[in-house]
Amino acid sequence: MNRKRKLQQLLKSLVQPLTAVLIGLLTGAVAISLVGASVLETYKVMWDGAFGNFYFVTATFARATPIILIGLGLAIAFRAGVFNMGAEGQMVLGAVSAALAALYVPGSGIIKILAALAAGFLAGGLWSLLAGWMETRFKVQLLISTLLLNYVAVLFAGYLVSHPFQDKSGSAALAQTPMIDQVAWLPKLFPGMSVHMGFVIAIVLAIILFIILRFTSAGYEVRMLGYNPFFAEYGGINKIKVLLYSMFFSGGIAGLAGTVEVLGSQYRYVEGSLTVPGYAWTGLMAALLANSNPLGTAVASILLAALQTGAMGMERNTEVPLEIASVIQGVLILFVTAKITMNWWKVKKKGRDIHGAA
Amino acid sequence: MTYVLEMKEMTKKYGEFLANDKISIHLKKGEVLAIVGENGAGKTTLMRMLYGLEQPTSGEIILNGRNVKFSGPLDAIENGIGMVHQHFMLFSDFTVTENIVIGHEPKRNGFFNRKAAAEKVKELSDQYKINVNPLKKAGDCSIGEQQRIEILKVLYQGADIIILDEPTAVLTPLEVEELLKTIEFLALQGKSIILITHKLPEVMKVADQITVLRNGRVTGNVLKQHTDVEQLATLMVGRELQKLTQRVQLDGEPLLVVDNLTIGGKEEKPILDDLSLTVHRGEIVGIAGVSGNGQSELILAITGLRKIDNGSIRLGETILDGTSVANRRSAGLAHIPEDRYLWGAAKEATVEETGLMGYYRKKTFNQSSFIRLNGFRELLKGWIDRFEIKTPSLDEKSGNLSGGNLQKLIVARELGFETDFLIAAEPTRGVDIGAMEYIHEAIIEKRNNGDGVLLVSSELTEILTLSDRIAVMYEGKIVDILNRKEATEEKLSVLMAGGN
């Protein structure tokens, strides 16, 4: 009986994201037929491009790695009821800090890697904490401060790699750090494939976060704060502390996303390499699609990465342009965020009402 | 004898659920019919069918000898049926006049004729002796005034049958008196009134005829002169009410000591004004007052949810002021909040999660920061049995529970802490009589155990039934403290209004 109910609830929670995906695919189908291609064939090519053979699967996983981490970071913030829109800046600061740590911390490879991971996590975490602190101290809305801090972070990282820490070894003066020593690279999971240790880190982190959120008192406090901050406060939860911790870990994990990209895939920080592919926004979408469930976020991230790698395959093999993937993603965002914004709005409104009454 | 309204064998099914099972009522011109019953007895469904908001599964409505069917409220209004809802539907930025005439504005050359509207409202207000200020904004009116606007609106629309849905739930005692007079006067002027309520003393004051509902069926139809409160309660609950447990005489030492508590007051009037109060062990202190006189702030200040500007709060030997909510709770304070949806629970959280608040910190249920859910579930199931909390499962969203059941869950949770001191704010708001008895019983038991209780309630009967001492709050101060023996509803009403 109880198991049946649980199953029902699970199915119910899947209805919304699946509907969004379905509508996204249908809209994509309309767009594909508008450019005059066969819908089924195009989707088949896309599928092959994402999961067609082992190589493509690993390429999809490699692309999913930063998206999963970003999504997990955001999921923590969303669970605590705050809208962290600053994943991009947190990721970039994490990436550049990790690159510099790997370059300049002396020691063996493992020490460099640990230092880089710590630096990336701290940089992203502290950057996010700054926004959290401004909210609790000066009531600067997180939604806005995190969004604006993105510009500061991205431009600052750009400055670092085009002036003090620029790679001057090559002939062309690109905005990038020197390449980090090979001993500090995260190992590839399979020789010749692009997926690296970062993917394992992301999956393990997803499982750990799932357990923490679900079974520990810290996770309970985060969830209750997100559900109803007044209830949390009434029950003796320290709102400010939980909010700041959530923001710190949220940004820290976003910083890790940048870190593993640097250590596992690019081996240096290159300006624009993390912002142009839109990892942060895809991660945001994954977290929203999965309603901030960490395991669901990982799955959604892989699906969205597949959409992107699949679209690349599609562009290689058909006349259909890459942008179809953006159309599908765009529709996904629309349908997923509709619900989220409504809920968020309701909570805000409730908050206003009580302040008005007091 | 002819009736202005008859409803015959009204039945309403929602799927398998029978909300109304062959309910019949009848109403004469100038008569006040009270429909009483607990929450979920079917009162509201019946009235929604009469007002055209629901279509009956079967049954007929006979209005002035004609068989009628209403497709919606507009239809009902056209036919002279008006309803004053429990939650008012006013535009707060509009004036009283505008709110009353809305939808049927007097016009001149196609434009809204404000002057004629104001005159018309004045006329109605004089005719039915219902006092309003036609030019005031509805948002600035007190709850009582807002209700009068709603009644005038219904009269303006030409209603001969007026349905009042739980009209006294939100009013102060003085406003209740006034409303009851208005109802009597309206009946005298030939209007027929249907009063939906569960407050029996009021029924006994104004009703001519009383129909009692329980579980969707009529359990009694009586004339006022042939019945009394006890009989009505028995018909409502289906059994006789128990007498409350005897209270043991206890002379406990001071437990909660509040001294010179002040909130606000630098530029404007303080919300709490140098307030001092003591609750002893083995004592229930009731706080009576018209809502908005600082009761809510007092509770929030004691529980640590609101900052204070001056004063001290002590619980036993522990100083509470300036400490966190968690500290106060572990010092021995439990708190049934006045607003269960705002403070007491999270709608999105499951029943289990709502129940777990506070307990997850206890050693019994927390093993190196992992929550021991299995152990907690046993406790939770115990509450569910004892308080007869109706929920499909422990995983049900708290927001899906009925208000009364959620209240019972919150009460069970807070009593379950077994603290020395309990703040009970509106502990029985929205629960049915059976549950109310149980909660009252539990609170008295707690007192008899030598614990202290601070009770805040807008129900004077609740305050009078439970309290050992009654403190009356007015404008942020305690204006008087009465003993259980000397307190009467009349005395309290006067004090609550700021008199002596």
Q: Are A236 and A242 in contact (CB under 8 A)?
A: no
Give me the mean pLDDT over the A176-190 stretch. Answer: 89
In this prediction, residue A357 has a pLDDT band, given cuts at 50, 70 and 90, of very low
Q: What is the 3-state secondary structure (H, E, C) of chain A?
A: CHHHHHHHHHHHHHHHHHHHHHHHHHHHHHHHHHCCCCHHHHHHHHHHHHHCCHHHHHHHHHHHHHHHHHHHHHHHHHHCCCCCCCHHHHHHHHHHHHHHHHHHCCCCHHHHHHHHHHHHHHHHHHHHHHHHHHHHHHCCCHHHHHHHHHHHHHHHHHHHHHCCCCCCCCCCCCCECCCCCHHHCCCECCCCCCCEHHHHHHHHHHHHHHHHHHHEHHHHHHHHHHHCHHHHHHCCCCHHHHHHHHHHHHHHHHHHHHHHHHHHHHCCCECCCCCCCCHHHHHHHHHHHCCCCHHHHHHHHHHHHHHHHHHHHHHHHCCCCCHHHHHHHHHHHHHHHHHHHHHHHHHHHHHHHHHHHC
Q: Do A234 and B324 touch (CB under 8 A)?
A: no
What range defines the domain where residue B162 resides? 5-237
Domain-located, residue A2: no
A166 belongs to a structural domain? yes
Task: Give the pLDDT of residue A78.
Answer: 94
How many domains are contained in chain B? 2
Q: How far apart are CA A136 and CA A120, in angstroms?
A: 24
The yes-or-no verdict on residue B424 having pLDDT over 90 is: yes
Buried b (16+ CB within 10 A) or exposed e, A177-210: bbbbeeebbbebbeeeebbbbbbbbbbebbeebb
Bridge-based pairing state of the strands B58-63 and B66-68: antiparallel
CATH code for the domain of A260: 1.10.3470
A325: tokens are 């993937």
Write out pLDDT tens, residues B265-302: 777 788 999 999 999 999 999 999 888 889 999 999 99
**Does residue B242 fall inside a structural domain?**
no
CA gyration radius for chain A?
Answer: 21
For the residues A251-280, what does the mean pLDDT come to? 93
What pLDDT, in 10s, does the model give residues B458-467? Answer: 888 899 999 9
* A1 within some domain: no
Measured CA to CA, the distance from residue A217 to residue A213 in angstroms comes to 8
Which phi and psi (to 5°) does residue A280 adopt? -60, -40
Q: What is the largest CA-CA distance in chain A?
A: 70
Q: How many domains does chain A have?
A: 1
What single string gives the DSSP state of each residue in B174-189? Answer: HHHHHHHHHHHHHHHT
Phi, psi of B392 (to 5 degrees): -60, -35
Same domain, B26 and B111: yes
- Nearest CA to B125 out of B169, B185, B180 is that of B185
Integer CA distances (angstroms), A19 to A101, A292, B294, in order: 44, 17, 49
pLDDT score for A337: 67
Residue A287's domain comprises 23-350
329-358 in chain A: CB under 8 A from chain B: 350, 354, 358
Torsion sign across C-alpha atoms A301, B350, B44, B457: negative
Whole-angstrom distance, CA of residue A343 vs CA of residue A356: 20
Q: Are residues B127 and B232 in the same domain?
A: yes
Q: Is residue B347 part of a domain?
A: yes
Q: Do residues B185 and B273 both lie within one domain? A: no
Q: pLDDT tens digit string along B148-201?
A: 999 999 999 999 999 998 888 777 778 888 899 999 999 999 999 999 987 888
On whether any CB of chain A is under 8 Å from the CB of B356, the answer is yes
Q: In the β-sheet with B477-483, what is the strand arrangement from edge to edge? A: B333-336, B421-425, B452-456, B283-288, B469-474, B477-483
Residue A10 in any domain: the answer is no
Q: Examine residue B354 and state whether it is found in any structural domain, yes or no.
A: yes
A18 occurs within a structural domain: no
- Cβ contact (<8 Å) for A218 and B361? no
Report the alpha-carbon distance of residue B473 to residue B456 in Å, rounded: 10
**Model confidence pLDDT, tens digit, residues B335-383:** 999 988 999 999 999 999 999 999 999 988 988 889 998 899 999 999 9
For A321-356, the pLDDT digits (tens) are 888 888 888 887 777 766 655 555 555 555 444 433
Mean pLDDT (chain B, rounded): 89
Q: How would residue B430 be classed by pLDDT, with cut points 50, 70 and 90?
A: confident
Is residue B50 domain-shared with residue B162, that is, in the same domain?
Answer: yes
The answer to whether residues B365 and B473 belong to one domain is yes
Exposure letters A249-259 (e unless 16+ CB within 10 A, then b): bbbbbbbbbbb
- Sheet of B66-68: strand order equals B17-27, B5-14, B58-63, B66-68
Using the predicted structure, report yes or no on whether residue A358 has a pLDDT greater than 50: no
| Optimal mutation site among B300, B303, B370, B419, interface A, most CBs of chain A within 10 A | B370
CB nearest to B393's CB, from A5, A224, A232: A5
Whether residue A216 and residue B370 make contact (CB cut-off 8 A), yes or no, is yes
Asked whether residue B243 is domain-assigned, the answer is no
Burial B206-215 (b: 16+ CB within 10 A, else e): bbbbbbbbbe
**What is the Cα–Cα distance from B133 to B130, expressed in whole angstroms?**
10
Segment B379-405 mean pLDDT: 88
**Does B480 lie in the same domain as B366?**
yes
Burial class (CB in 10 A: 0-12, 13-18, 19+), B102: middle
Q: Which of A220, A227, A233 sits opposite B348 (nearest CB)?
A: A227
Residue A15 lies in a domain: no
- Residue contact B358–A236, C-beta within 8 A: yes
Give the pairing type, strands B58-63 and B217-223: unpaired
Of A224, A230, A358, the CB nearest to B343: A230
CB interface of B with A, residues 312-341, below 8 Å: 324-326, 328-330, 335, 337
Q: Are residues B231 and B259 in the same domain?
A: no
Assess contact for A176 and A270: CB atoms under 8 A: yes
pLDDT for res B477: 92
Q: Are residues B230 and B262 in the same domain?
A: no
Q: Token pair 């009925």 is at which residue? A: B402
User: B 196-255 residues with CB below 8 A of A?
Assistant: none
| A9 part of a folded domain | no
Task: Give me the sheet containing B310-315, strands edge to edge.
Answer: B272-280, B254-263, B310-315, B318-319
Nearest residue to B493 via CA among B183, B172, B203: B172
State how far the Cα of B357 lies from the Cα of B345, in Å rounded to an integer.
9
pLDDT score of B169? 74
Predicted pLDDT at A172:
66
Using alpha carbons, select from A335, A273, A350 the residue that is nearest to residue A21.
A335
Flag whether residue B417 sits within 8 Å of chain A, measured between CB atoms. Answer: no
Helices A197-215 and A294-317 sit at what angle, rounded to 10 degrees?
Answer: 150
CA atoms of A239 and A232, how far apart (whole Å): 7
DSSP B29: T
Looking at residue A1, what is its pLDDT? 46
Cα angle for residues B410, B431, B250 (degrees, 5° grid):
70
Of A215, A224, A237, the CB nearest to B349: A224
DSSP state letters, B252-276:
PPEEEEEEEEEE--SSS--SEEEEE
Asked which of B237, B271, B286 is the last residue of a domain, the reply is: B237
Query: For residue B141, is pLDDT > 90?
Result: no
| CB-based contact B233:B241 (threshold 8 Å) | yes
- For residues A263 and A185, the answer to whether their CB atoms sit within 8 Å is yes
Model pLDDT, residue A339: 60
Burial of A114 (0-12, 13-18, 19+ CB in 10 A): middle
Residue B56 lies in a domain: yes
Domain end among B237, B265, B285: B237
Domain of B151: which CATH number? 3.40.50.300
Q: What is the mean pLDDT of residues B16-44?
A: 87
| Residues B205 and B108 occupy one common structural domain | yes
**Helix boundaries (H) for B22-156:** 43-50, 73-78, 96-101, 114-127, 143-156
Considering only the beta carbons, identify the residue of A217, A227, A354 that sits closest to B360: A217
Nearest Cα to Cα of residue B33 among B234, B186, B147: B186
Q: How far apart are CA B431 and CA B459, in angstroms?
A: 13
Check if B370 contacts A (Cβ < 8 Å): yes
Beta partners for residue B335, in sequence order: B423
Residue A171 has what pLDDT? 64
**Whether A224 and B353 lie within 8 Å, measured CB to CB:** yes
Pair B75, B144 in one domain: yes
Tokens of B173: 């005692």
Instruction: Give the separation between CA B430 and CA B410, rounded to whole angstroms.
Output: 13
Task: Give backbone dihedrals phi and psi of A16, rounded to 5 degrees, phi first.
Answer: -60, -55
Q: Where residue A73 falls among pLDDT bands split at 50, 70, 90?
A: very high
Q: Does any domain span residue A13? A: no
pLDDT score, position A290: 87
On whether both B272 and B187 belong to a single domain, the answer is no
SS3 B285: strand
CB B446 within 8 A of CB B415: yes
How far apart (Å, rounded) are the C-alpha atoms in residues A240 and B117?
53
> Are residues B213 and B259 both part of a single domain?
no
Mean pLDDT lowest among A30-34, A264-268, A349-353: A349-353
With b for 16 or more beta-carbon neighbours within 10 A and e for fewer, the B348-385 pattern comes to: bbbbbbbbbbbbbbeeebbeeeebbeeebeebbeebbe
Q: B286 has which bridge partners?
A: B455, B470
